[in-house]
């Protein structure tokens, strides 16, 4: 039915404030459920527990080009776990370790190619 008189500004304001409060409450409840589902006790301060952050500069964590839009990727504080105290593997450290192994392997391969057999004995004794 059509109301002859529109609601007063005070009624509209009260209705909107109630809806905003209910939405905030629902959003907080859902956030707490997500943290519970992911078994997060102390949410990461950087990503809030999601394990993901956005990069507004479009550069990814490896300083790569992310494109012509806002990019999202793994949180470089908790490394995707979402937990402040229980970090997942640090991808930067892993990548640096792999790179150092590749350098050592190349050096060893060069020595073997040059006929240096002592390097094999040294490696086996370690």
User: Tens of pLDDT along 53-97?
Assistant: 987 766 666 666 666 667 778 898 999 999 999 888 888 899 999
Q: Which residue would you say has higher pLDDT here, 8 or 83? A: 83
**What pLDDT score was predicted for residue 1?**
46
Query: Which one has a higher pLDDT value, 82 or 9?
Result: 82
Mean confidence (pLDDT) of the chain: 83
Cβ partners under 8 Å of residue 42, min gap 6: 83, 84, 85
Tokens at residue 66, please? 């992310």
Dihedral of CA 51/56/58/63: which sign?
negative
Res 5 pLDDT > 60: no
Is the pTM higher than 0.85? Answer: no
């Amino acid at each position: 039915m059509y109301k002859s008189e529109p609601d007063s500004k005070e009624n509209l304001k009260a209705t909107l404030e109630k809806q905003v409060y209910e939405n905030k409450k629902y959003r907080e409840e859902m956030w707490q459920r997500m943290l519970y589902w992911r078994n997060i006790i102390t949410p990461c301060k950087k990503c809030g527990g999601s394990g993901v952050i956005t990069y507004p500069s479009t550069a990814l964590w490896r300083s790569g080009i992310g494109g012509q839009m806002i990019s999202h990727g793994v949180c470089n504080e908790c490394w995707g776990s979402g937990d402040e105290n229980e970090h997942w593997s640090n991808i930067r450290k892993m990548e640096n370790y792999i790179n150092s192994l590749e350098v050592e392997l190349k050096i060893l391969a060069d020595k073997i190619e040059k006929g240096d057999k002592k390097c094999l004995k040294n490696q086996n004794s370690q």
